[in-house]
Amino acid sequence: MRLLAESVKEGFVKIVVDDINDLWLLQNLIKSGDFVTAKTLRTIFVEREETREKVKKKLVLLKVKVEKVEFAKNKNVLRLAGKIEECPEDVQKGSYHTIEVGLGKILKIEKEWKQEEIEQLKKSRRVKYANGVVIGEFLMHVNRDDKLASYGLEEVGNAVMMSAVKILLVPEDNLHEKKFEQIIKDAESKRGEILIVSKKKDWGEKFCKQYDIAALLRFAVS
C-alpha cells in the first residue's frame, strides 16, 4: 500500500492499493460512518417523458458515507456501501452506491484517524505466500507428532498466546474471515511470520482442504 497523503489534523489519508492483503487492513480500518472518495462506475439515468431510463455506466468521482464493509472473496475486492455525499450533477446525491476496491484503486478516507492507524498504513502488511518446502516441513512435524506443528483455531490460538508460533499458515480463502483476524494480528504482534497458502498448487489445494489454519512452532507445545 502506498500512502500518497495524510493528515491526522485534517482527518484524511489518500492511498493506493498495491496488494490484495492491503484489503485486509482496510477492512479493519474503515468503519461505518467513515467517508470514502474514489472513482467508481455508476449507472446513469435520465428522465424522458416522465419515465426514468438507464443510459449507461460511467466512471465518476463519488464520496460515500460508509454503512457496510464487506470483502467479496469471489472477486477479491472490498465492497464499501453507503449513501452518496458528494457527486457530479448527473448522479443523485443521497442515493446508495457501492465502491469496489481492488488492486490499483486510489482512495481518500476521511475519519477520526488515530496516529497508530496511520502507522499501520505506513507499515502496511506484506504477507508472503508459502512454498512447498514450508508445507513439507509442517507435514513432517505433524507426522512425527513432535509438537512442533499445530493446527486448528483453538490449538493454534493457544500457541500464539504462548509466543510459540514461528510461521502461521493461512489458507487464502480464510485470510479475510472474521474468526481468523485476531489470531493473525496476535501472531504478527508476537513476531510470527504470516504465510498464505495458495490453492493453485496441488500441495496447497490439499493443505487448504485439510487445515483451516496451522502453524510451525518455535518450541514444542503440549
pLDDT (tens digit, 0 to 9) for every residue of the chain, 222 residues total? 899 999 888 999 999 998 877 888 899 899 999 999 999 999 887 766 666 666 788 999 999 999 999 988 778 899 999 999 999 988 999 999 999 999 999 999 999 998 888 888 887 777 789 999 999 999 999 999 999 999 999 999 999 999 999 999 999 888 878 899 889 989 988 999 999 999 888 999 999 999 999 999 999 997
Predicted local confidence at residue 124, as pLDDT = 73
* The dihedral sign for the CA sequence 62, 31, 104, 116: positive
Predicted local confidence at residue 44, as pLDDT = 83
Reduced 3-state DSSP string for 55-121: EEEEEEEEEEEEEEEEEECCCCEEEEEEEEEECCCCCCCCCEEEEEECCCCEEEEECCCCHHHHHHH
Note whether 171 and 213 are within 8 A (CB). yes
> For the chain, how big is the Rg over CA atoms in Å?
21
Predicted local confidence at residue 70, as pLDDT = 93
Predicted local confidence at residue 52, as pLDDT = 62
Amino acid symbol at 183: I
Q: Whole-angstrom Cα distance, residue 80 to residue 109? A: 11
Q: What pTM was estimated for this model as a whole?
A: 0.71
What are the φ and ψ backbone dihedral angles of 34, each rounded to 5 degrees? -75, 160
Cα–Cα distances in angstroms (integers) from residue 88 to residues 59, 62, 98, 101, in the given order: 11, 8, 16, 20
Predicted local confidence at residue 53, as pLDDT = 67
Predicted local confidence at residue 134, as pLDDT = 97
Fold of 128-217: 60s Ribosomal Protein L30; Chain: A; (3.30.1330)
Predicted local confidence at residue 181, as pLDDT = 85
Predicted local confidence at residue 69, as pLDDT = 96
Walk across the sheet containing 128-129 and list its strands. Answer: 128-129, 193-197, 165-171, 214-217, 149-151
Domain boundaries, the chain: 2-123, 128-217
Amino acid symbol at 136: G
Is the backbone of residue 18 left (phi > 0), alpha (psi -120 to 50) or beta?
Answer: alpha
CATH class of 2-123: mainly beta
Predicted local confidence at residue 122, as pLDDT = 82
